[in-house]
A and B are shown apart, each in its own frame.
Chain A
Amino acid sequence: MAVLNVNGKAMDHNAAPDTPLLWVLREQLGLTGTKYGCGIAQCGSCTVLIDGAPMRSCHVPVKGVAATAKITTIEGLAANGKLTKIQEAWVASDVPQCGYCQSGMIMAATALLAAKPNPTDADIDAAMTNICRCGTYQQVREAIHAAAKA
């Protein structure tokens, strides 16, 4: 039995130490908002925050995550049903199409805005390397700028 600190709660799991954090979140902790897209750190669908830094959880073995490290998943953003300003901006810009990549997009945007509250287009290009096969990039950019102003 090992412990992870996810969305402010201590959570137990019994996954093998080499299991990627992604699958521990999804299959052991029932947090399915974090998505599997590639498993090789290419697409960003599995992005979570570990101590505030965006990490591609498909490539983070769970043994490498300390019990004290603060993991935030998409489920941990809204508090008491109140969306974050980034989620609000996403809703206002009607960003998601199929939505499958959007958890990862929002987590990456959350980290970006925490580091750079007023990102330029170039900042957005550099930080938002997630793949969206539906092609929502134009709305993602618009929503990040809107959230920065909110």
Chain B
Amino acid sequence: MTIQTSLGRRGFLASTTAVAGGFSLGFHVPFLDDGAANAQAGVRELNAWVVIHPDDKVVVRIARSEMGQGTLTGLCQLVAEELECDWNKVTWEYPTPGQNVARNRVWRNFSTGGSRGIRESNQYVREGGAIAREMLIAAAATKLNVPAGELTAANSVITHKGSGKSVRFGEVAAAAAALEPPKEVKLKDPKDWKIAGKPIKRLDTVEKVTGQQIYGMDHTMPGMLVATVRACPVIGGKLKSFDAAKIEKMPGVKKVVAIDGNAVVVVADTYWNAHTALAALPTEWDVGELGKVQQDQIKATLKAGLDAPEAFVGNKAGDAKAAIDGAAKKVTATYSFPYQHHVTMEPMNATARYTADKCEVWCGTQNGEAALAAASEASGLPVAKCEVYKLMLGGGFGRRGRSDYVRQAVLVAKEMPGTPIKLIWSREEDMTHCQYHPITMAKLTAGLDKDGNLVGLHVRISGQSILASLLPQNLVNGMDPATFQGLMQTGVEAAYGYDVPNLLIDHAMRNPHITAGFWRGVNVNQNAVYMECFMDELAEAAGQDPLAYRLKYLKPKWAAVLKAACDKAGYGKPLPAGHFHGISQVMGYGSYVAGVAEVSVADNGQVKIHKITAATNPGHVVNPAQIDRQVAGSFVYGLSAMLYGEITVKDGAIEQTNFDTYNMLRMDEMPKVETVLVPTHDFWGGVGEPTIAVAAPAVLNAIAKARGKRVRDLPLMHHELKKGA
């Protein structure tokens, strides 16, 4: 069927050209396979988003991936709100990426990142719900023989006011499905929402507390074998040789194969046998000059970039250099933020089955269409002969937006046509073969007038570009605009909140050989640390309160959310002895966020983060309970990086291999998190990521107050905060 209104305007498939060429029908799709049976049972697809069963069960199709962020529940709420169905009848399913291609991208974007799940698709999924409701009402009008305008839908029942007659959705779904969809629908005013906007429970909880949820790691098929991989420890290095004969007789081993010239894989009957054999496999690598790269060299390269004459300009006003030179007082500080690893709890894995005319993949992915493209490229089959079945993700955080593990699984499956191969990365493989949060440094220089007013500011960032690493085609004349997240001149995505008369924010791009990638919060993380810690330094230099100082320069929406956080936290009011407040704010992912951390530092240097109060203005609130959880969870992520997160390079390879060398925050360090929502209802912002970035600077600012000593290079674990140290 064709849907008019804005659903009619299809986006373009952007994954790769392989996918763009693949618009043809004729392959296996789970719910299409059930088509005949479903039709007989009266199950009807009203449009791409909504399927209704005769017993009123509603199936909402979710194109984005659920990885813990709650997007599937939120999207269901939005569809159900417009559909006017009974929330208790709502279930969900994933359409497949292949089917999206076959149906002219009716579900549009599958990519799940950048906190875009809801803010980018709210309009068209709500329209999907509203269109389905109108079709149900039209069918009910015919059945009840009354004008459609006299009918109202609520709780999966359509009622005629005058006569009191009513029908259930399930009774008219089949008739409704045969109707032309309306050309225009009016969406509800969010202030009339009954399902959306409410703290409704997630739809995916019971499976997750009973062990029934199937993740990629748990997928199994008849005849399946299990593989595990070791790629060259130096990213960019090659496989030189391996001695398969040494392990071929080991228990369960079926095959030893090299893939992509840089990795070796053992296929066995079980993971444990594959793992044991791989550990015993003699392997030699060709790492060349890359094998000589050390962490100190990377740092030195970045450091040199702090004063380099050439840099990409990301934000500029007036003449910062002249203003700083002529200022009464000059303040300078240098900060640094190391490589980070995503560490999804579930290591990378994918199951693939290849035959000469079909390639199928079962996996958790943040980008189903990119996974489909990867399957096509790796198998050499056209997209129309490939399919990806999305499974639940044991965490994404940006890691599963890349399809390297899908490619590997397909390459192995291709070596054993017809046999399903589940490729599992060990935690060690996962830790050492990621696309890492980029390493950067920043030198901030400010000029203050005699009253402490900020007259000029230069922020020089030096370090790695994600786009140069992953998507060089998206660089703009060599510049990586994403580097300036949170510091951008304008825009609805991540704009800089301060009005500074003379400003220069620029980036000296320095790209080590380590692959850089999107990591929950991306570049907002370090940019917020740099800017928000430095604002505290400026307030201190001016002898003014950090909140009052910020409010002199912050634009209204940024200021409002910071004030909301401070009000809720009781900023400025007395705290228990030895406790200090630190504040920060940022705009990211379309939302405005701020945090107030309450921290104490014991005489022995032990930092205790008692509480963080976080305010968010996401424009519209779809599920306040889930926002609460995203905020608390994002703080665990951001604080783990601040306290412990550091990936380092030795002889060209990643040094950290598992949780014993890459620590993270646990229960005993968890601060109490209080969330304040201050929606202004005039835009749609993201939620999963923005607040990560305010945790670290707020805590660092509080520590600086507590200790009178400021930490400028992370992680905190390297710093002695003992009294007198």
Contact B632 A135 (CB under 8 A): yes
Note all chain A residues with C-beta closer than 8 A to B270.
15, 23, 27-28
Does A33 contact B211, Cβ atoms closer than 8 Å? Answer: yes
Instruction: Give the nearest-CB partner of A75 in chain B.
Output: B211
Are A38 and B658 closer than 8 Å at their CB atoms? yes
Residue in A19, A74, A141 whose CB lies within 8 Å of B667: A141
Bound-complex Cα distance A101 to B211 (A): 10
B676 in the interface (beta carbon within 8 A): no
Contact in complex: A98, B217 (CB < 8 Å): no
- Bound form: Cα–Cα A90–B632 in Å: 17
B68, B206, B625: which contacts A98 (Cβ < 8 A)? B68
- For residue B251, which residue of chain A has the nearest CB? A16
**Is the pair A39, B636 in contact by a Cβ cutoff of 8 Å?**
no
B253 within 8 A of A: no
Given A23-B271, A38-B659, A43-B345: A91 and B629 interface contact (C-beta under 8 Å): no
Say whether B209 contacts A87, CB under 8 Å.
Answer: yes
CB–CB A94/B427 < 8 A: no
Tell me the nearest residue of chain A to B657, going by C-beta: A40
CB of A126 within 8 Å of the partner chain: yes
The answer to whether A32 has its CB under 8 Å from any CB of chain B is yes
Q: How far is the CA of A38 from the CA of B215 in the complex (A)?
A: 16
B166 at the interface (CB under 8 A from A): no
Question: Nearest residue in B to A92 (C-beta to C-beta)?
Answer: B201
Q: Do A135 and B345 form a contact, CB below 8 Å, given A32-B214, A99-B204?
A: no
Verify B211–A136 contact, CB threshold 8 A: no
B394 lies within 8 A of A42 (CB):
no
Q: How far in angstroms is the closest Cβ of chain B from A99?
A: 3
Q: Nearest chain B CB to A26's CB is how many angstroms away?
A: 8
Q: Verify if B210 is at the interface (C-beta below 8 Å from A).
A: yes
Asked if residues A37 and B205 are in contact (CB atoms below 8 Å), the reply is no
Query: Are A125 and B667 neighbours in the complex by a CB distance under 8 Å?
Result: yes
**Interface set, chain A 122-150, CB cutoff 8 A to B:** 124-126, 128-141
Please give, as numbers and ranges, the residues of chain B lying within 8 Å of A42 by CB-CB distance: 658-660
User: In the assembled complex, how far is the CB of residue A121 from the closest CB belonging to chain B, in whole angstroms?
Assistant: 9
CA of A19 to CA of B276, assembled, Å: 9
Q: Which residues of chain B are within 8 angstroms of A34 by Cβ–Cβ distance?
A: 211
Contact B345 A35 (CB under 8 A): yes
A66: CB under 8 A from chain B?
Answer: no
A96 at the A/B interface (Cβ < 8 Å)? yes
A34, chain B: closest CB distance, angstroms:
7
Considering the complex, which residues of chain A in the window 1-23 have a beta carbon less than 8 Å from any beta carbon of chain B?
15-16, 19-20, 23
Q: Complex: how many Å from CA A36 to CA B674? A: 32
- Provide the bound-state CA to CA distance between A36 and B429, in Å: 14
Report yes or no: B667 in contact with A90, Cβ–Cβ below 8 A.
Answer: no
A138, B215: Cβ atoms closer than 8 Å: no
- Return chain B residues, CB-CB under 8 Å to A101: 345
Looking at the complex, which one of B217, B634, B637, B667 makes contact with A129 (CB distance below 8 Å)? Answer: B667
Provide the bound-state CA to CA distance between A139 and B270, in Å: 35
Residue of B nearest to A62 (CB): B272
Q: How many angstroms between the C-alpha atoms of A69 and B600 in the bound complex?
A: 46
Given A37-B427, A75-B210, A96-B209, answer yes or no on A128-B667 (Cβ-Cβ < 8 Å).
Answer: yes
B316 within 8 A of A: no
Q: Indicate whether B346 reaches chain A with its CB closer than 8 angstroms.
A: yes
Distance, CA A98 to CA B637, complexed state (A): 14
From A78, A96, A98, A130, residue with most partner B Cβ within 10 Å: A98
Interface string of A26-59 (1 = CB under 8 A from B): 1110111111111110110100000000000000
Tell me the smallest distance from the CB of A79 to a CB of chain B, in Å: 11
Q: If A98-B67, A128-B667 touch, does A32 touch B345 (CB 8 Å cutoff)?
A: no
A138's partner among B251, B632, B668 (CB-CB below 8 A) is B632
Whether A45 lies near B271 (C-beta < 8 A) is no
Given contacts A97-B629, A135-B635, contact A125 B668 (CB under 8 A): yes
Q: Which of B67, B205, B272, B392 contacts A90 (CB 8 A)?
A: B205
**Binary contact readout B651-673 vs A (1 if CB under 8 angstroms, 0 otherwise):** 00000001110001111101011
CB-CB nearest in chain B for A102:
B208
Is the CB–CB distance between A99 and B208 below 8 Å?
A: yes
Instruction: Assess whether A95 is interfacial by the CB under 8 Å rule.
Output: yes
Beyond A27-B272, A42-B659, A135-B636, is A35–B210 a contact (Cβ under 8 Å)?
A: no
- Give complex CA distance A100, B208 in Å: 8
Additional pairs, 4, CB under 8 Å, beyond known A28-B270, A33-B212, A133-B637 = A90-B209, A91-B209, A128-B667, A133-B344
A-B contact pairs, 29 of them (CB 8 A): A16-B272, A20-B272, A23-B270, A23-B272, A26-B271, A37-B345, A37-B427, A40-B659, A42-B660, A74-B210, A74-B211, A75-B210, A83-B206, A95-B205, A96-B204, A97-B68, A97-B69, A97-B70, A98-B344, A99-B68, A99-B394, A128-B666, A129-B667, A130-B666, A131-B659, A133-B395, A135-B635, A135-B670, A139-B632
Closest A-B pairs by Cβ, 4 of them: A33-B211, A135-B636, A100-B394, A99-B208
